[in-house]
Amino acid sequence: MARFITNGKVGDEDTTRQRMRNYWQVYSPTLESMMLSHDATYLAEKEQSEIISYLPDYTGKRVLELGAGIGRFTALLAGVAGHVTAVDFMERYIEENRAQHHHLSNITFKCADVTKLEFPAGSYDLVFSNWLFMYLSDEETSQVFRRVLEWLVPGGHFFMRESCYHQSGNMKRSENPTLYRTPYEYSEMLQESSSSDKMAYRIVRGKSILTYINYDGNPNQLCFLAQRVDERESEALSAYHQGRYTLRYADMMERMSGYTWLCPGGEYTTRDLVMKLGLQPGMRVLDVGCGTGGAAFYLARQYGVSVHGVDLSTNMIHTAIHRQGKLERKLRKRIQFEINDILDCNFENGSYDVIFSRDSLLFIKEKEELFKKFYVRYSLVSVSRYAEELHRAGFKDVRAEELHEDFIRIHKRELEAFSASRQAFVNDFSEEEFCEMVNTWRDKIRWSEEAQLSWGAFTAGKTASVTQYKHTGVGEN
């Protein structure tokens, strides 16, 4: 995990704060300095409206803005909130904020170090931060996360936006003490910051800022929305995914199905399935249960479509975004990934031309509810039952294809190839994990041969107009 380093040692609190103060004193309180980008004027308005759109309803509520700076978001928050407390540790920045927005009577401006802030428990409905924690050490970040949890009312929300992986701005810097953590690290720190068994964070959403993807293919600007929940409320399906789909487990699965693939047959079977969808360049695709990004990368590259990948697992999305950042620029610009429960997503009507999913809907019991909008263990149903559910949800031209025998052959082929690479796998993992993977695949083959497990492919259409159709593609076991 990232740490603030000073002369090879972990910097203490006073050294960290002074170094950050020295760092920001170099820059004047302007838009370009706040964003550390020569493209600030172009990016600011677009990213501001996008970020505000990710916030929960805070109409008339109490908002704490941490790292408020010159006030790029202060006035926007104050225009809706009942009251905003804007905090920044750089005096000339908060004074510029005050000068610009003193006419708004529902803002309190405060120059203070966020690590030393004290507020009564339950003081705020929403705590908002933009580019703050990448300037704090791990210990300081965790400390503030715990305090924010206490400052929030039950059910209150915490929104944070950070630069991840590496620098995004293009202004030259003499030094750069910024900590570029990963989404996985922020997720772990949020989940580990619970102050008691009766108070915890639930990550509601996490995603790349689309403005930066569209502008220069940069997926490394991330935001998280977390909610304070009591008595460690957590959705069973989300907890299952976080526990099962660890980074290590995903790596092992890819040894079986291929790099970036967690589904049987990987690219080979996906290629055959998507050929039925009539994809054309420029179409918009929602990838439900996108995993580490295999299908999203394949669809964007082979068909020229724009793909929005959604998955419950922070680990999967972290891996997918990291890999997205290594693609060629034009391909990066066609992909975005998001941590979210698809049942909680409220996309605008007509947002997508195609909805694609593989080996994900089997986890969801509320299939009719899901299909109308488009717990822990599998919710397996027959191929014909899937078709019935799609019909009941309102889809037309439902086509169901039984792939039982095909996937028995695919699993056998994968197992044979995996077994041949035994020593390489054991060197990177362990003999025990190799045996576990082999036994899992043997079970799948046996269950399939005994007709306990089956596979199907489904396409369904939604009439958009007289001549246009929207399609859903689903692959399940």
CATH number of the domain to which 84 belongs: 3.40.50.150
Instruction: With respect to residue 443, please indicate whether it lies within any of the assigned structural domains.
Output: no
> What CA–CA distances, in Å, run from 34 to 130, 162, 166?
10, 13, 17
* Core vs surface per residue 438-466: b (16+ CB within 10 A) or e: beebeebbeebeeeebbbbbbbbbbeeee
Of 129, 66, 127, 120, which is closest to residue 94 (Cα–Cα)? Answer: 66
Q: Which two tokens stand for residue 186?
A: 């922020």
Instruction: With respect to residue 431, please indicate whether it lies within any of the assigned structural domains.
Output: no
Of 286, 163, 161, 179, which is closest to residue 225 (Cα–Cα)? Answer: 161
Convert the pLDDT of each residue in 417-476 to its tens digit.
Answer: 889 899 999 999 899 889 988 888 888 888 778 676 777 787 888 764 333 333 444 444
Instruction: With respect to residue 313, please indicate whether it lies within any of the assigned structural domains.
Output: yes
Residue numbers of the domain that contains 321: 239-403+454-476
Alpha helices in 374-421, H assignment, sequence order:
383-392, 404-420
106 and 76 both lie in a single domain: yes
Of 343, 297, 294, 293, which is closest to residue 317 (Cα–Cα)? Answer: 293
216 and 243 both lie in a single domain: no
Note whether 149 and 181 are within 8 A (CB).
Answer: no
CA 110 to chain centre: 32
216 and 81 both lie in a single domain: yes
- Under 8 Å CB-to-CB from 166, ≥6 apart: which residues? 180, 220
- pLDDT score, position 324: 96
Note whether 187 and 162 are within 8 A (CB).
Answer: no
Note whether 80 and 248 are within 8 A (CB).
Answer: no
- pLDDT score, position 277: 85
- Under 8 Å CB-to-CB from 317, ≥6 apart: which residues? 183, 206, 290, 309, 311, 337, 338, 339
Domain final position from 175, 201, 234? 234
As a whole number of angstroms, the distance between CA 162 and CA 81 comes to 23
- Under 8 Å CB-to-CB from 25, ≥6 apart: which residues? 90
- Under 8 Å CB-to-CB from 432, ≥6 apart: which residues? none
Note whether 316 and 183 are within 8 A (CB).
Answer: no
Q: Which amino acid is at 251?
A: D
Instruction: With respect to residue 171, please indicate whether it lies within any of the assigned structural domains.
Output: yes
Domain final position from 234, 267, 291? 234
64 and 90 both lie in a single domain: yes
- pLDDT score, position 264: 79
389 and 334 both lie in a single domain: yes
Instruction: With respect to residue 164, please indicate whether it lies within any of the assigned structural domains.
Output: yes
Note whether 68 and 92 are within 8 A (CB).
Answer: no
Q: What is the DSSP letter of 363?
A: G
177 and 275 both lie in a single domain: no
220 and 308 both lie in a single domain: no
Q: Total domain count for the chain?
A: 2
DSSP helix, strand, coil percent of the chain (3-state; round to 5): 45, 20, 35
At 8 the three-state DSSP class reads coil
Count of CB atoms situated within 10 Å of the CB of 104: 13
As a whole number of angstroms, the distance between CA 180 and CA 372 comes to 40
Beta strands in 245-297 (DSSP E): 284-288
Domain final position from 234, 257, 280? 234
* Core vs surface per residue 367-403: b (16+ CB within 10 A) or e: beebbeebeeeeeebebeebbbbbeebebeebebeeb
45 and 187 both lie in a single domain: yes
Pairing of strands 469-476, 456-463: antiparallel
At 131 the three-state DSSP class reads coil
As a whole number of angstroms, the distance between CA 118 and CA 114 comes to 9
Note whether 108 and 87 are within 8 A (CB).
Answer: no
Count of CB atoms situated within 10 Å of the CB of 182: 19
pTM of this prediction exceeds 0.95: no
196 and 244 both lie in a single domain: no
CA 174 to chain centre: 32
Instruction: With respect to residue 418, please indicate whether it lies within any of the assigned structural domains.
Output: no
- pLDDT score, position 407: 79
230 and 246 both lie in a single domain: no
Convert the pLDDT of each residue in 402-415 to its tens digit.
Answer: 877 887 888 888 88
As a whole number of angstroms, the distance between CA 229 and CA 109 comes to 29
Instruction: With respect to residue 299, please indicate whether it lies within any of the assigned structural domains.
Output: yes
126 and 58 both lie in a single domain: yes
286 and 206 both lie in a single domain: no
Instruction: With respect to residue 355, please indicate whether it lies within any of the assigned structural domains.
Output: yes
- Angle, vertex CA 162, rays to CA 156 and CA 165, nearest 5: 140
Over the chain (477 residues), what is each successive 10-residue block's mean pLDDT?
Answer: 38 61 65 67 84 96 96 96 95 93 96 94 97 91 95 97 82 72 92 76 93 93 93 56 74 86 83 88 93 94 96 91 95 96 83 83 56 49 72 81 82 88 90 88 81 75 47 43
